[in-house]
Chains A and B, each alone.
Chain A
Amino acid sequence: QQQVKQSPQSLIVQKGGISIINCAYENTAFDYFPWYQQFPGKGPALLIAIRPDVSEKKEGRFTISFNKSAKQFSLHIMDSQPGDSATYFCAAIGGGADGLTFGKGTHLIIQP
């Protein structure tokens, strides 16, 4: 069964700190790995994504690190701000699958 395992389930970080969320996948056919940010009552918003031909991608304060051999990828939020408080989901797709396979999410709280 295709799975994406996400950790931690919840995370509290001080303002200005680095938030790190990790995901691991099983299906080596996955070839696209996005991260989504979701605020309460809203839909998931695409934050940043990576393909396995690169090991890192950075957009502003958000960075994805990708380890193909370990089948793991992570989201780093630098200089975390209270406005970053949300639920973050990792996802993966590929190998003929049409739908994204999501992790269970991480509730991130940035304390002022």
Chain B
Amino acid sequence: NAGVMQNPRHLVRRRGQEARLRCSPMKGHSHVYWYRQLPEEGLKFMVYLQKENIIDESGMPKERFSAEFPKEGPSILRIQQVVRGDSAAYFCASSPLGQGEQFFGPGTRLTVL
């Protein structure tokens, strides 16, 4: 039973470019969460999605960041016009019921040059 999958594991972008991060939830899980982790910090909630719906994006920066979870395929976190402050580890988690228990993927480490 495969866990949460994320790709790429490492991503390097220059300032102003776009970053696309992908997340495939665990089999049978329809609830996806995105978190950001800065160095030496805990994880910060960004967005919660179900298939084709954004349920809660209260932790998402208002500009340049967007997320989707289409009917088919992985969830995608998109960062447009990246800046150095976007450098962080981005984690996806999935849940079977959307309550409490969340299982995390290995993360995507974004470096903005």
Contacts and interface: CB of A to CB of B under 8 A. Distances in A.
Contacts of A32: 99-101
A89 B41 CA distance: 10
Given A42-B106, A43-B107, A98 B43 contact: no
A105 B42 CA distance: 6
A99 B33 contact: yes
B48 to A, nearest CB: 4
Interface residue SS majority, chain A: strand
Interface string B49-92: 00000011011000000000000000000000000000000010
A28 B37 CA distance: 25
Contacts of A93: 100
Nearest to B55: A98
B91 A99 contact: no
B23 to A, nearest CB: 11
Interface of A: 6, 32, 34, 36, 42-46, 49, 89, 93, 98-105
